[in-house]
Amino acid sequence: MTFKVRLALVALIVLFMFILHNSFWLWSLDDRVPLLFGFMPFAFSFYVGYAVLAVIAMKVIITLAWPEPPADLFQPAGDKRPAEK
Amino acid sequence: MISTLGIVVIALYFSVLIGIGIYGARVSLKTREDYFLAGRGLGSIAVFMALFASNITAFTIIGHAGFSYEVGYGAYGYVIGWSIFITPFTFYLVGYRSWLLGKRYGYATQPQVFGGIFNSKLVALLFLVLLLYYTLPYLVVSIIGGSLAFTTITDGLVPYWLSSLIIISISLIYTIPAGLRGTVWTDIFQGTLFLGVAMLLLAAVAQALGGFSIITERIIEANPAMLQRGLSEKIAPINWFSFSFINSIAVIVFPQMFTRILAARQSSNLKRVSLYYPLAMAGIFAVSTLLGVWGSVAVPGLSGIDSDNIVPLLIHQFLSPVWMILGLVVILAVVKSSIDSQLLSFTHLVTDDLLPLLKRVSSNQAVFWGRILLVVFAVAAYYIALVRPAAILSIAAFAFSGFSVMLPVMIGALYWPRANKHGACAALIFPAVMLHLWYLGILPEWTTFGFMPVFPAFILAIATLVIVSYLTAPPSAEQREKTFDIFNRVFKYEDKETGENKQLKNG
């Protein structure tokens, strides 16, 4: 998979999370969905779930498009010493 | 009156902070990079707690609870919902690439990173001026909010002027000797403290009110509108959408947050921080949301600015005096962990980016000047917090929006090789001017098409960057290579490896 495709997938994830946050059509469920654990109404529990989803989304983004830098990247130009491990 | 136990707890708390300051000063080297960036050696927990604690202000505990008191459970998603994802995402989008450049070229602040990318002193100067311009009111408002909360929770025993003095003085005790290292170590201590105490406080209030389920049933009976987002005008969909462009995307632009990203030791530290951050922010805001909403039935009848007192009132009316002391320590921890980082980053910007324009400053001299300027700015901030000039407070009202509309230039600089210094300058100036015209009431409201001003200003920033960059000469190949060769090496590195792996697999 090329990096551009990975970046496109990342953009799709961001778009999905944005739409999910702005999903006003779900607001009608606020007084219909039962309380989670007896004290969390939908307007609240939705964002508890959203937080878990955010961690999963970040994990996917890290796997897809967050490579580690090459070991010699931070050596000054012309420095031929072996990179620190 | 505060009991003996209270005095002991507060004395212990201050002793830990002073001890951290003294120890931090002993291990710190007297170099610019060590004082302002902790030698770029912060690990995952240090970066995470530094970002988390710096981003939690008096608003989180006091203001957000007051907002939830008025709006209901919807306040949770409105204020923090989009932030839970997009703020850690900006650590990747902007933070990682800036960190790479910082490591490679020694950049330590936004003016250095973005002035360096565009090879433009004007871009660097605009970043410097705008960041100082928006940070000062934000710092002053943090001091005012924290001092008011301190005075409220001590029942007026500690007057406002003394609260401000205590908060600023204690912050200076560890920041002056130990620089960023001191603030980060205290962030770890204070962040753990307020996260732990906040959770315990929630459980104690719930127990005092009859339990989680009982208090929720009372809300459903007394005020069912608290459950329905569609019934609150304050969080109407158009405001909800616009708000996505204010606090959540502004975080990475705050100089105190940006600097802490640059101070990370390795890329893997930033990755871990991006995974911890959503749960921590969701957790701390969940506490203040629930306390605020529960308060609407436990202490009904508050309105306007009085509703911001709901957490101190809940503690006062339903918990023992010991909780008052813990509450006091939490307020101090929350307020100071953000004020110290703002003060330090303000000083860092002046020492690293403004002072060298006036005189030659060696690395050792930078530390000396940093310490002097910390005191000067702390005194100035204290004075402004006492006088509370209307002009400063009116800027604070849109400081977050001001930070947000700088983000398109940062993203453009890091992702679009065609972006040039003319586009960057125009995209920094034009939206900032428009924000002032909208927020100061010079332009009529209809010109924002019903959105909060930050949204059209954000779109203007993108459009200005693109149009002006295309209308003017592109950056030189040498200038582009300086930045994008590094990104090409990092981000195509894995593709190359994958290709090699494929070759290996195919024999």
CA B300, B301, B303: angle at the middle one, nearest 5? 120
- Residue B214: closest C-alpha in chain A: A39
Identify the pLDDT of residue B322.
82
> Among A27, A46, A58, whose Cβ lies nearest the Cβ of B278?
A58
ipTM greater than 0.95: no
pLDDT of A80 > 80? The answer is: no
Average of per-residue pLDDT across B471-490: 93
What pLDDT digit, counting tens, does each position of B442-455 carry?
898 888 888 888 89
Q: Report the DSSP beta bridge partners of residue A36.
A: A40
pLDDT of B282 > 50? The answer is: yes
Identify the pLDDT of residue B230.
87
Closest CA to B385 of B58, B129, B13, B10: B58
Identify the pLDDT of residue B2.
60
Identify the pLDDT of residue A77.
55
pLDDT tier, B500 (very low <50, low <70, confident <90, very high otherwise): very low
Give a yes or no: residue B500 inside a domain. no
Q: Break chain A into its structural domains and give their ranges.
A: 3-65
> Are A46 and B77 inside 8 Å of each other by CB?
yes
Contact at 8 Å (CB) between B219 and B58? no
Distance from CA of B201 to the nearest CA of A (A): 17
pLDDT of B497 > 60? The answer is: no
Residue B359's SS3 state is coil
Largest CA distance in chain A: 66
- Residue A17: closest C-alpha in chain B: B85
Q: Higher model confidence: residue B332 or residue A18?
A: A18
What's the N-to-C CA distance of chain A in angstroms? Answer: 28
What pLDDT digit, counting tens, does each position of B112-121 carry?
999 999 999 9
The rounded mean pLDDT for chain B is 88
> Are B490 and A73 inside 8 Å of each other by CB?
yes
Domain tally for chain B? 1
Closest CA to B261 of B246, B250, B274: B274
**For an interface test with B, which of A19, A25, A61, A62 has the most B Cβ atoms less than 10 Å from its Cβ?**
A62
> Are A66 and B275 inside 8 Å of each other by CB?
no
pLDDT tier, B358 (very low <50, low <70, confident <90, very high otherwise): confident
- Residue A64: closest C-alpha in chain B: B494
Residues of A with CB under 8 A from a CB of B: 1-3, 14, 17-18, 21-22, 24, 27-28, 30-31, 35, 37-39, 41-44, 46-48, 50-55, 57-59, 61-62, 65-70, 73-74
The tokens for B262 are: 């640059």
Burial of residue B331 (number of CB atoms within 10 Å: 0-12, 13-18, 19+): buried
pLDDT of A82 > 70? The answer is: no
Distance CA B361, CA B491 (A): 36
**For an interface test with B, which of A17, A19, A58 has the most B Cβ atoms less than 10 Å from its Cβ?**
A58
pLDDT tier, B5 (very low <50, low <70, confident <90, very high otherwise): confident
> Are A30 and B491 inside 8 Å of each other by CB?
no
Average of per-residue pLDDT across B348-374: 86
Contact at 8 Å (CB) between B50 and B184? yes
pLDDT tier, B502 (very low <50, low <70, confident <90, very high otherwise): very low
Distance CA B15, CA B21 (A): 10
Distance CA B53, CA B277 (A): 11
Q: Higher model confidence: residue B40 or residue B24?
A: B40
> Are B489 and A70 inside 8 Å of each other by CB?
yes
pLDDT of A60 > 70? The answer is: yes
pLDDT of B222 > 80? The answer is: yes
DSSP secondary structure of B307-350: GGGHHHHHHHHHS-HHHHHHHHHHHHHHHHHHHHHHHHHHHHHI
Provide the CB-side half-sphere exposure for B238 (13 A, CA): 8
**For an interface test with B, which of A3, A6, A15, A64 has the most B Cβ atoms less than 10 Å from its Cβ?**
A3
Distance from CA of A82 to the nearest CA of B (A): 16
- Residue B283: closest C-alpha in chain A: A48
Task: Give the relative orientation of helices B82-90 and A3-21 as an angle to the nearest 10 degrees.
Answer: 160
Read off the CATH number of the domain in which B41 is found. Answer: 1.20.1730.10
- Residue B485: closest C-alpha in chain A: A73
Query: Which chain A residues are Cβ-neighbours of B230 within 8 angstroms?
Result: 27-28, 30
Q: Supply the range of the domain harboring residue B43.
A: 4-494
Residue B254's SS3 state is coil
> Among B84, B104, B275, whose Cβ lies nearest the Cβ of A47?
B84
What pLDDT digit, counting tens, does each position of A26-58 carry?
999 998 899 999 999 999 999 999 999 999 999
Contacts of B271 (CB under 8 A, 6+ apart): A62, A66
Query: Which chain B residues are Cβ-neighbours of A62 within 8 angstroms?
Result: 92, 271, 274-275
What pLDDT digit, counting tens, does each position of B397-407 carry?
788 889 999 99
Distance from CA of A26 to the nearest CA of B (A): 10
The tokens for B40 are: 């770029």
Distance from CA of B274 to the nearest CA of A (A): 7
The tokens for B234 are: 């304050």
Distance CA B430, CA B453 (A): 13
Contacts of B240 (CB under 8 A, 6+ apart): A22, A24, B77, B78
What pLDDT digit, counting tens, does each position of B172-182 carry?
888 888 888 88
> Are A21 and B492 inside 8 Å of each other by CB?
no
What phi and psi values does residue A36 have, to the nearest 5 degrees? -85, 130
- Residue A55: closest C-alpha in chain B: B275
pLDDT of A59 > 90? The answer is: yes
Distance from CA of A23 to the nearest CA of B (A): 9
Distance CA B28, CA B97 (A): 27
Identify the pLDDT of residue A85.
37
Closest CA to B142 of B54, B70, B228: B54
Residue B124's SS3 state is helix
- Residue A16: closest C-alpha in chain B: B85
Q: Higher model confidence: residue B494 or residue B453?
A: B453
Q: pTM for this one?
A: 0.90
